Amino acid sequence: MTNERAVSYSLGTITYNIAKDWDLPTLLTKLEALKYEGVELRTGHKHGVEVTLNKAQRAEVRKRFEDSPVALAGMGSAFEYQATDPAEVKKNITETKEYVRLAHDINAPSVKVRPNGIPRGADLDATLKQIGRALHEVGEDASGFGIEIRVEVHGGTTQLLPNLAKIIEYANHPNVYVCWNSNQTDVVDGSIKSTFAMVASKIREVHLRDLTDEAYPWRELFTLLAANNYMGFTLAEIQESTDPERVLRYFRSLWKAYQPAPKA
C-alpha cells in the first residue's frame, strides 16, 4: 500500500472492457506505469489466460505476476447456474471447476461467477435455491485448492440484493463470497447503506462503474468499505476507449478524490 490514502483496499481494473485488447506483457507494463495495483483477468480477452493453457504456460503466467508489482486480483468468468436444463447447469459447474484449477496453477485467489436472472416462468425461490446449491458445490470444490468463489451481484432480478443475499444463504458455504457490482439497483432513497449491509460480511471483491456517474453514491460506498475494514480490490469495470491509458489515469484520479478523509 502507498501512503496516499488511509484505507486498506486497493485500486485495480478488469480486462472487461477497457483492457480487453492488451496481451499479458502489455497489460502488466501499462498497469504498472498507471499505478494500478491489480487486475482481474476476464475470460475471452487478449491476455490469453484460459483453461487451454498447458502446465508450462500456466507456470509462465504465474511467474509473470510474481515478477510484477501488479497483482492478479482474480479470474473473471461468466459461469452461471440458473438454467432450467439440468445438463446446462451441470456443464457450468464442471467448467467452473476447470477454471478453479487454472486459478490454482497461476496463483489467482479466486474465480468470479454470477447469477444471470431468472428464466421466464421459473419459480423465483426455487431458482435462487438451485443457484445456491450449485455455488455450494463449486465452493466446496474450490476450497480444496485454496480458491475463493466470488458471486457477482448480477442479472435481472438476481442483482436485487435481497435475492442475492438469499442465494448466498442457500449456498451456505464459507468459501462462497460476494463481488459487489455497483449497480444502480443497490441504491434506495439515494443510499446503499441498507443493501450493502445485506452482504457486507461476505464482500471479497468490488467492481466499480464509471465514477462520473453521479447517480451512484460513490463516496458512501468507499466510506462503507473503509468502515467494514475491506481489504480487497476495487476494480474499474468500464467501457473500452480509443485511449484507454488516458481514461484509466482519469479514473484513478477520481478514485483518489472519492476516498474518505483519514480519521483524526
Q: What average pLDDT does the segment 155-181 reach?
A: 98
Task: Output the pLDDT for position 261.
Answer: 80
Q: All 3 cell numbers of residue 209?
A: 462503474
pLDDT for residue 237 is more than 70: yes
Q: Where are the domains of the chain?
A: 10-257
Contact yes or no for 104/147 (Cβ under 8 A): yes
111-143 pLDDT tens trace: 999 999 999 999 999 999 999 999 999 999 999
pLDDT for residue 147 is more than 70: yes
45-99 pLDDT tens trace: 999 999 999 999 999 999 999 999 999 999 999 999 999 999 999 999 999 999 9
Question: Superfamily for 10-257?
Answer: Divalent-metal-dependent TIM barrel enzymes (3.20.20.150)
Task: Output the pLDDT for position 263.
Answer: 67
